[in-house]
Amino acid sequence: VSRAVVVVAAGSGTRLGIGDAKAFVPVAGERMLTRAVRTVFTLAEPTFVVVVAPTARLDECRALVAAVAGPAAALTSVVAGGADRHASVQAGLDALPDGIEWVGVHDAARCLTPAAQFAAVFERAETTGDGVVPALPVTDTVKRVEGDLVVETVDRSALVGVQTPQVFPLRALRDAYAAAQRSETDDAGVFRAAGGVVRTVPGHADAFKITTRWDLARAEAIVADSAL
Ligand code: C5P
């Protein structure tokens, strides 16, 4: 296999207010992590999966991943995460087997991301050789502020919101992480800071990140609607 996905699932989910590691919270009866990993195993291209889990839940996570992977269990690995997302991604990259050329980094909290989005991002990365992120136009009017004072409207036609999976040539992403001077909020930020080229492909509304109770309710509504 030349493709891998690192699913980061080591966050605490404080903003969800559930008192549980977020990726282990069920959405319509099935955990976010189960949903996220299962999607990767539906891809036509064989793909190695590394799940980065909270240290306290490694055994539980291994059982969960084995159950989802079935016969593909040999293509999985579960490792402990770090203090922030950056450290968790780095732990995931360190766990990849030899031979992987393209890696996607994916938030477990974006558990309804369609399989077609994974396929599109990997394909674009492989044909261009660059980093690729799924992106959607910004629909709100966006203001630059100083404290509570509005300074100006930012031209939203030049802005997008980005999602995951974000796909990169593995060697270049490893180098970028090794060179990183500060914590970025996504992998494309790390890759750009090291001089890499990052392109966009169209994202999907269902690939939103579940952060709040409202997001969870929205995710349950989407599942009910599609009877997943
Ligand atoms: O907290 P937030 O939702 O922005 O985190 C995005 C993703 O990064 C989540 O899937 C979360 O589990 C993961 N994460 C992690 N390790 C951390 C913090 C966040 O794997 N220390």
The ipTM estimated for the assembled molecules is 0.95
What is the reported pLDDT for 227?
74
pLDDT at position 17 over 90: no
CA 37 to chain centre: 11
Per the CB < 8 A criterion, the answer to whether 104 and 1 are in contact is no
Q: Atom of ligand 1 at shortest distance to CA of 89? A: 20
Kindly state the tokens that stand for 24.
């282990």
Give the mean model confidence (pLDDT) for residues 138-146.
95
Q: How confident is the model at residue 228 (pLDDT cuts 50, 70, 90)?
A: low
pTM attached to this predicted model: 0.96
Question: Of all residues in the chain, what percent carry a pLDDT higher than 70?
Answer: 99
Atom 7 in ligand 1: residue holding the nearest Cα:
107
Ligand 1, residue 110: give the atom nearest the CA: 10
| Token couple for 167 | 């796909």
Higher pLDDT residue, 181 or 52? 52
pLDDT, mean over the chain: 95
The angle that helices 170-179 and 85-94 make with each other, rounded to 10 degrees, is 130
Which ligand 1 atom sits nearest the alpha carbon of residue 7?
10
Spatial CA neighbour of 3 closest among 118, 134, 155, 154: 118
Cα separation values, 194 from 16, 90, 94, 101, 198, Å: 33, 15, 19, 18, 11
As a whole-number percent, the residues of the chain with pLDDT over 90 amount to 92
What's the CA-to-centroid distance between 15 and ligand 1, angstroms? 11
Written as six digits, the tokens of 85 are 């997302």
Least confident span in 9-18, 67-76, 91-100, 124-133 = 9-18
Residue type, 151: V
How far, in Å, CA of 64 to CA of 66, rounded? 6
Give residue-wise pLDDT tens across range 168-201.
999 999 999 999 988 888 999 999 999 999 999 9
